[in-house]
Amino acid sequence: MAGKLFNAAELAAIADALTDASQGQTGSEIECIFSQCGMIDVSPDLTKLKRLFNAFVGSQNSRHDKTRMLGFIRKAMRPPRYARQPERYEPLRANLNRALAFVGMHCESDGTLNTSDATCTLQEAERRARELRDDLAVRNVHPDVLRFCRAELVADNYFHAVLEAAKSVADKIRGETGSSEDGIALVDQTLGGAAPLLAINALAADSQRSEQKGFANLFRGMFGMFRNPTAHEARIHWTMTKEDAEDLLTLVSLIHRRLDAAVKP
């Protein structure tokens, strides 16, 4: 991720997010990651925030790049680090993404860093989120979808709001069925076949069985078109406009509603 170096305000925001009092890195964790990424701890006796900020500034100034600083973020955001305290991870990632939005970057749920369209102000990110939420409210979309209309997600051209909403549908199915599958394999296991684990109707007539099959195909199409490519590639190469996001989130809303009414045959 080559490009211009981060300025002091951007570095301070990133350091602040990573050292948040409730979810951020502890002093010992900072020390360990410094060692792993070859970053010099220039002020070990200061607070965590100042310690991390000074190390970031020192690394950038001495190397004239941000390689080691990005290395620190990647190592800090590796999900296995939070195996014993998983509740720390998503709030920490959300805080970090608020800061990264201003430098055109985003931390994915697996800890990888990707580029994104930088937002200039917090107000801009909030405005995008508010407009998207208002438009979807007019469409009466499912409440589980509205939860993903957040500033830290829509700062990146609405891309991550749709991705996270799509993931929420899979989470709902796993919660209902106990399945550990994902993507199309999850659909096949829970909604497909002659005896699905979840049914959106009584399956008593050919028309109802056809409707069930069509719903499963709709679900497969959503995963195939959007979630699978975006979840496993660095970043899908198409622009996510507000209009695209609204249409896709409305589709996710439909799926949520049918799942809420589904039964276990």
Quote helix, strand, coil % in the chain, to nearest 5. Answer: 65, 5, 35
First to last CA, the chain: 50
Residue range 203-252, pLDDT digits in tens: 999 999 999 999 999 988 888 776 554 444 444 445 678 888 999 999 99
Residue 35 has pLDDT above 50, yes or no: yes
* pLDDT on residue 2: 52
Residue 52 CA: distances (Å) to CA of 16, 36, 44, 90, 157 = 9, 14, 9, 21, 30
- Mean pLDDT rounded to a whole number for the chain: 86
What is the SS3 assignment for 142? coil
Q: What are phi and psi of 113, to 5 degrees?
A: -105, 130
DSSP string, 41-95: -S-TTS-HHHHHHHHHHHHHHHHSS-HHHHHHHHHHT-GGGGSS-GGGHHHHHHH
* pLDDT on residue 230: 46
Residue 99 CA: distances (Å) to CA of 30, 92, 184, 203, 252 = 19, 11, 34, 49, 28
Share of the chain above pLDDT 70, in %: 91
* pLDDT on residue 3: 65
Residue range 82-110, pLDDT digits in tens: 999 988 888 898 888 888 888 888 888 88
List all residues 6 or more positions away from 164 whose beta carbon is below 8 Å from its beta carbon: 148, 153
Residue range 111-160, pLDDT digits in tens: 999 887 666 566 777 778 888 888 999 899 999 999 888 877 787 678 87
Residue 255 has pLDDT above 90, yes or no: yes
User: CA angle 39-45-47, nearest 5°?
Assistant: 90
